[in-house]
Amino acid sequence: MHPLQQHLSKEVDLTSAEFEKVLGYFEPISFQKKDQVMHSGQYINHQYYVISGCLRTYLLDRDAKEHTLQFAVENWWSSDYIAYYTGAKSILNIECIEDTELLRVNKKDILLLFEEVPKLERFFRRQLENAFVAFQKRILSNLNNTAEERYDAFLQSYPNIEQRVKNYQIASYLGITPESLSRIRKQVKKNS
């Protein structure tokens, strides 16, 4: 079964014909490690579904410091959703942490698919709901939890990703320094 079909089937039951119609709107694209999928300052009309590989979505602040918002691994979606939904220019960047295979779908094609395969609208509504919950939990965690608790939540959200991404990227996601991350890991190892 195609990875996208398997992913969609978690929320909606599509016939083979419906899935073929859906897949026809998605464009397969490949990137190499360190390639940029998206740059800040662009208008964004696509969402990306990860078939294989790993993406990192990040913001560069005024001081050129990186702030990681999300990692996207297999079966995850990525984009600058503020730009995608509002039509504003992107403020985020998406880079490939590994060689990556994606499916890209255009916003206008998603809207056509909602008309042609109405069940798909339910899938994307659930995706938005889940993303909203995850981002709200992350904001609350950053406001309320210790760095150790945020690290534990990171490991829950991204099991087995530590071998795939650099320490400074994880530290950036957690809002701490790489040195603090090292101390936390040593403490976790000591407590195990």
Asked if residue 133 is part of any domain, the answer here is no
pLDDT at 121: 93
CATH number for the domain that contains residue 79: 2.60.120.10
pTM for this predicted structure: 0.92
Asked if residue 44 is part of any domain, the answer here is yes
Helix, strand, coil % (nearest 5) of the chain? 45, 25, 30
> What tens digit of pLDDT does each residue of 26-71 get?
999 999 999 999 999 999 999 999 999 999 999 999 999 999 999 9
Asked if residue 171 is part of any domain, the answer here is no
Into how many domains does the chain fold?
1
Buried residues in 7-33 as b, exposed as e (16+ CB within 10 A):
bbeebbebeeebbebbeebbeeeebee
Range of the domain at 91: 3-117
The β-bridge partners of 95 are 36, 56
Asked if residue 22 is part of any domain, the answer here is yes
Label the pairing between strands 92-96 and 36-38.
antiparallel
Asked if residue 180 is part of any domain, the answer here is no
Asked if residue 7 is part of any domain, the answer here is yes
Asked if residue 34 is part of any domain, the answer here is yes
> What tens digit of pLDDT does each residue of 147-171 get?
999 999 999 888 888 889 999 999 9
Of the chain, the percentage scoring pLDDT greater than 90 comes to 85
Asked if residue 58 is part of any domain, the answer here is yes
